[in-house]
Structure 1
């Protein structure tokens, strides 16, 4: 594999300095498409049903998304590299982050029983639909969940395979892999705490909700990808730089999740691609909801109370609140002032992250790009 071009990658002639985000994402998409095409052919050769499994996984990976993780990793790497350093050798590692992300999304959707993602049916709904339309025996929903879990597992294996193809020094790849493994462990730990919180939402707190945000979202969305990119640059003996990336990543990652909390209640489904109010239906103890309960009057607390199964209102029964009740709960949360408090938390974290970068020993173009990314990631409509 040559240094100037990734063999098989259709996207060539990538600018060596401060590549525009669209060009970077185009290169990552090309790397993913080429890798997934080969994997699909290989599985199709074993059995056509496996080819169908692979194509569904491929479509989920290539269905769009913000590609924030490889973008943060790229600027983490670019911040310490020399001008003119080629990006092509990094593309397998950057693209691997998107395969890991798909693994996390597919499993998360199964656990949350989500119907849509990015405006399209989730993996388990796709497989359940195939099961029903083919007239197979057995429960369609159970098959859908089982197949989706396998798709997620497949994407995680593919991520490992693609990462291993990075043409970098062995010592560098070991350092990258160490960061990657830590990121995966933290994401699983955060997801477990998230699921655990849904089983005892009345005992949860703002502090616990923020811990989930750090592990499940901040770590694997911003903080670890930045450090992943730094590791790809090779040995950098500057603890201040690693600390700056860690602090910036934690702040922006938390703000990213706080924005997600707000969008989950007040976002436009036509823009977010997900139904509004899902977190409220399940009683998920987000920072927004925990703050609302802390700020609420006694009357408001009664409306925000949980039943033992996690539904927000005991009178609603196991099915949870309907559309009108969700709208009422969202209004009560707004009346407590919690959304404004969360907006302040987001702004404060982005401002502090910018202050961290101001003194970080990184290239000016990377500093500017990371400041822009912080705003884009936390002020998004979806």
Structure 2
């Protein structure tokens, strides 16, 4: 979409402005795909389902952090390629969400039907509509990955920058897939192993959500390896805090906050640090209740309330909140010790406040 210039904040890092710029770029891209599908007689619901997912919500965390990394590294000049790479990152995230919802059998995403449910609903009068929905969602995820690459390849990057960007992306994608696999292995059989839960969080979310997007933006600005190392020291603990916060939301928040079914992580028996800490301390009936998750038994609403009470009574929730504060604080302390330019520190402090809140 290099023929279209998107308005972009020119002088100061503005997360809201970045979100609007990325959403505008994605809208242009999906409009073009819709016209192409119509011209070739392809089923319209493919782009429709993806448009609902991509533009129907989301905080744009990864593209915002990509642009933050560019600003922090002193990015100057034409910002249009930065917007497009950030949009590519959001499209890749959509691919991951579509497949994640299939694996987790999630009925909703961002308060709307998940992709496989949307496809099933579109073909509701057809025998085997549910299976068709799942199969179609797998294909949609594959197509979304292809379109993510298309956005990247048409961003107009010079050869050296393109090579640097794809190197970071290759690492990020590999880490995410292993993180997802570790998550699959842990689902339905959580244990008191907090370190294992934190490792899942690190590769499934912390690196993918914070560290690598920041580094991606930095290499777009032509930064050196030392700056990327500083971003890693900042981004990893911040990403871990972000995932731990998400674990609390997954256990305690209601659907309007998460856009997903209430306590879905509990219903799936996800191996989170929250559940691992509770399993370390629970005894008797409390432990039996938690062990039901380890056997893949989906709790009823009344049991969800009881599990939440155990998470509170064992102190697991309070300890996770403390871990969030510790990770957040560790990230901010790296900014004091890294010798970064004041402008970079300012941008990264904004990033931390955007994700977790003020120190």
Determine if the alignment matches structure 1 residue 280 to structure 2 residue 272.
Answer: no
Deviates more, 1:182-191 or 1:264-273: 264-273
Partner of residue 40, structure 2: 46
Deviates more, 1:324-333 or 1:56-65: 56-65
In the alignment, is the contact (CA less than 8 A) between 1:44 and 1:52 conserved in 2?
no
Partner of residue 232, structure 1: 220
Q: Secondary structure at the match of 1:7?
A: coil
C-alpha distance in 2 between matches for 1:275 and 1:165: 37
C-alpha distance in 2 between matches for 1:306 and 1:368: 47
Aligned to 2:108, which of 108, 116, 120? 116
Partner of residue 31, structure 1: 25
1:124-172 per-residue CA deviation (whole Å, 9 max, x = no partner) reads: 111111111xx22x31111111111111111110010101112222011
CA RMSD of aligned residues (A): 1.9
C-alpha distance in 2 between matches for 1:154 and 1:56: 12
C-alpha distance in 2 between matches for 1:22 and 1:259: 21
In structure 2, relative to structure 1, the CA distance for the partners of 1:308 and 1:365 (3 Å cut) is closer
Deviates more, 1:371-380 or 1:337-346: 371-380
Q: Secondary structure at the match of 1:86?
A: coil
In the alignment, is the contact (CA less than 8 A) between 1:282 and 1:310 conserved in 2?
yes
Aligned to 2:195, which of 194, 197, 207? 207
| CA positional deviation for 1:251 | 0.6
Structure 1 length as normaliser, TM-score? Answer: 0.89
Q: Secondary structure at the match of 2:292?
A: coil
Aligned to 1:295, which of 281, 290, 304? 281
In structure 2, relative to structure 1, the CA distance for the partners of 1:328 and 1:307 (3 Å cut) is closer
C-alpha distance in 2 between matches for 1:355 and 1:201: 32
C-alpha distance in 2 between matches for 1:281 and 1:307: 7
In structure 2, relative to structure 1, the CA distance for the partners of 1:339 and 1:175 (3 Å cut) is same
Structure-to-structure mapping, 1:89-168, within 5 angstroms: 89-132=81-124, 135-136=125-126, 138-168=127-157
Partner of residue 77, structure 1: 70
Partner of residue 159, structure 2: 170
Structure 2 length as normaliser, TM-score? Answer: 0.94
C-alpha distance in 2 between matches for 1:94 and 1:67: 9
Deviates more, 1:155-164 or 1:298-307: 298-307
C-alpha distance in 2 between matches for 1:155 and 1:307: 33
Partner of residue 185, structure 1: 174
Structure-to-structure mapping, 1:350-361, within 5 angstroms: 350-361=328-339
| CA positional deviation for 1:266 | 0.9
| CA positional deviation for 1:198 | 1.7
Aligned to 1:348, which of 295, 313, 326? 326
Partner of residue 59, structure 2: 66
Q: In structure 2, list runs of 5 or more residues that go unmatched.
A: none
Determine if the alignment matches structure 1 residue 198 to structure 2 residue 187.
Answer: yes
C-alpha distance in 2 between matches for 1:361 and 1:343: 29
1:95-126 per-residue CA deviation (whole Å, 9 max, x = no partner) reads: 10000000011111111111111111111111
Structure-to-structure mapping, 1:290-329, within 5 angstroms: 290-306=276-292, 309-311=295-297, 320-329=298-307
| CA positional deviation for 1:199 | 4.9
In structure 2, relative to structure 1, the CA distance for the partners of 1:307 and 1:327 (3 Å cut) is closer
Partner of residue 331, structure 1: 309
Determine if the alignment matches structure 1 residue 370 to structure 2 residue 348.
Answer: yes
| CA positional deviation for 1:333 | 1.2
1:247-280 per-residue CA deviation (whole Å, 9 max, x = no partner) reads: 2111111111101110111113222222222111
Partner of residue 315, structure 1: none
In structure 2, relative to structure 1, the CA distance for the partners of 1:238 and 1:139 (3 Å cut) is closer
Number of equivalent positions? 358
C-alpha distance in 2 between matches for 1:307 and 1:172: 47
